[in-house]
Amino acid sequence: MNKPGNNEVAAPWEEMPEEPQRITAKEASAAAARSGDQARSGDQARSGDQARSGDQARSGDTKATGRTGNPTARTRWQPSQMGYRWVVRNVGFLLFLTILAVIYIYNGHYADKISRDLSKTNKELKELQYEYKTLKSEVMFRSKESELAKAVEPFGLKELTRPPFVIIDSVQR
């Protein structure tokens, strides 16, 4: 791993993360009071208190930095914490979330398609049921005795007027 101090420029993902600065409530209120003065005067060097507290923080003095568990100590938010390194470290998880999102969207479209197909099939089923009932009633109407007589009359067949008789074989008696 390259260190920035070796006359080589380290890649952003190889740099060591910086520890967030911690300040006390007193330092925060003093900085807020001075922020108006610094905004008017432009770029100014830190005041003596800030320089001393920064030097103490670098040297490891825990009292000045508020690292002793002081409940009034605050942590400054640093945007580099959620930057490029975070994305690189979590690329696998982000790909997993992306795949889940794609599957979720596909599942929604698939459910819509199934629903449309189901309603289309139900509509076709109702049409076929109506057609079946129509054809069944037509067959029932045509199979009536009077309708059959009308249908076979052109062939010379007529309806019987007397009952049929049974032919008996005389030899079997």
Burial class (CB in 10 A: 0-12, 13-18, 19+), 54: middle
Residue 50: closest CA among 71, 34, 69: 34
Identify whether the C-beta of residue 16 lies closer than 8 Å to the C-beta of residue 23. no
Q: Containing H/E element for 51?
A: helix 48-59
Q: Containing H/E element for 87?
A: helix 84-89
User: Which tens digit of pLDDT belongs to each residue from 132-156?
Assistant: 999 999 999 999 988 888 888 899 8
Q: Is the pLDDT of residue 4 over 80?
A: no
Residue 27: closest CA among 50, 46, 45: 50
Q: Containing H/E element for 139?
A: helix 91-142
Report the predicted TM-score, pTM, of the whole model to 2 decimal places: 0.40
In DSSP terms, 22 is beta-bridged to 75
The residues spanned by each domain of the chain are 22-80, 91-155
User: Which tens digit of pLDDT belongs to each residue from 94-129?
Assistant: 999 999 999 999 999 999 999 999 999 999 999 999
